[in-house]
Structures are given as structure tokens and as C-alpha cells.
Amino acid sequence: MRHFQTLDSVSYDETNDTLLVSCGDQDPCEPILWFGREGPYLSVSASHGPLEIALRLRQRDVETSLAQLRPTERLTVMRMVGTGQAHLELGLSTAGELLVRTAIIADATGHIAINMVLTPSARARLYEWLEVEHAE
């Protein structure tokens, strides 16, 4: 059973051109999702307490996947960006929430993932920062 942690607070660092999405609490053990640009790549860091999954994805692939998402009632329907071993899964709920799952896959015997869901307002800020047209 997957449990998704809701993230609703967004802060933009203009100096470094990064976006931080969090629960709004100042608790260092709460999950956060960080995005940063590196040329044609998008760095994505998902952390929950001391656990972090860091990915380096092609920004164009992430933007295309976000633009092509369609709302679905089934939370298990997600697009995958990255490789079979390290990827970002994206899904859009009918309520306008963006489901984000960062995963590292060992092999057929196991994986580690962090499951988050961005509120519609947090999703809008991410789309705006990436200059993605809303998928609706």
C-alpha cells in the first residue's frame, strides 16, 4: 500500500533558480521536494528526514511528461521519467493534485521510493517555474 505525503508550501530561490516544495512545517524530518536546473538537466531531490533520493533527469523529458498528463481517478496510473533503475513517476488526480514518486530500483527483488502529492496550487507553481502548459 502506498502512502503519499501532501506537500503544499512552495518557495523559490531566485539566486539559484531552485524550487522547494514542502509541508510548510519547519520540522527537518518532514518530506521535501527540491528542483534545480543544470543546463539541459533537472536535478530532483526528494527527502524525508535523513533519507534522500536524488535524480538528474532531462528537463525536456520532465516538461513533456507533465504537459501530457491527464487526470485519472486511479492513483496507480503514472508516467515514468528516467531509467528503469532510477526514475521519477508522475500522475495527475482528478482533484488536480500532482503525484510525484522518486524511486531507485535494485532489481526484481526490491526498490526504495518516496511518495508525495503536490496540492493544485503547488503543482501550478511547479508548472509555472518549468514553463509547462497546464494539462487539463
pLDDT tens digits for 26-46? 777 789 999 999 999 999 999
Residue 52 lies in a domain: yes
Residue 73 lies in a domain: yes
Domain holding 34, by residue range, is: 5-130
Is 3 a residue whose pLDDT tops 90?
Answer: no
* Rounded Cα distance, 122 and 131, in Å: 14
Residue 44 makes CB contacts below 8 A (sequence gap 6+) with 33, 34, 35, 54, 55, 56, 57, 62, 88, 102
Task: Specify the 3-state DSSP secondary structure of 42.
Answer: strand
Is 18 a residue whose pLDDT tops 90?
Answer: yes
Residue 75 lies in a domain: yes
Residue 26 lies in a domain: yes
Q: How many independent structural domains does the chain possess?
A: 1
Residue 70 lies in a domain: yes
The percent of the chain in helix, strand and coil, each rounded to the nearest 5, is 15, 50, 35
Residue 136 lies in a domain: no
Which pLDDT does position 76 carry in this prediction?
A: 66
Task: Specify the 3-state DSSP secondary structure of 26.
Answer: coil
CATH number at residue 116: 2.30.31
Is 136 a residue whose pLDDT tops 70?
Answer: no
Residue 135 lies in a domain: no
- In whole numbers, what is the pLDDT of the chain averaged over residues? 91
